[in-house]
Structure 1
């Protein structure tokens, strides 16, 4: 940021904002939805930080397109201090990458990993879910899930 030929700010974002009399506005808030006015009024919201995260509700293992096993995911979640972890591998209808496991094998793997890593998982709530693709429908109507209705109705609600 320059005043004529003299540089007045620019080494950091904080410097640039300070030069125009504002606190730094985090990039996630920069949507032209009143953040300048909120900054002027000293009313920017507090953002969620990684330290405040208690768990992860969308994680993929090597059972679909993830890079880590369930055991590795559970250990990493514990190391981060998480209380819960939801494994949401892709449903079988999505084209799988080479080496991806079918749903039955993923369930068996999850059960065996739970028992073999009970000390790691004892204080970690592990949940199972699925990432489902929506089938396209004609314009103006909702898509359909690739998970059969019979499977959805037989699944107990989360909670």
Structure 2
């Protein structure tokens, strides 16, 4: 059920100020926009405006800044480390930096099969180090024997290894 006025149900709730051309509404909007919560909520919008001119480059830079700020606040967060490493590896193609963050993610969560598998893929792709990649894949399968992503990644690695040998 769509409610037109939430203050009708709860008189303590005041409706949001309407945006119109009247001076009182503009004054209310100015008050709202100068509040700390408004600034926090819409600070990300200001950061994303420059991406209009150079969408790909600036979006990557904004994402980098976002991850670095989040990692500064949560340096041992395995999920955050993994996601940033995956972004660096698959989107930005910064293999060296991705490897560093995958290694940190593995240290933060050594029993996470998906992280181990992603790291193994990067080791294979970047260094063609069969032994190290296979060791990480085997560790990943041991950590998550029922994870279809981990099993499929290991199978893909073995398939590609067989093709490159044959």
Q: TM-score, normalised by structure 1?
A: 0.30
Using the size of structure 2 for normalisation, the TM-score is 0.29
- Greater strand content: 1
Higher relative contact order at CA 8 Å, sep ≥6: structure 1 or structure 2? 1
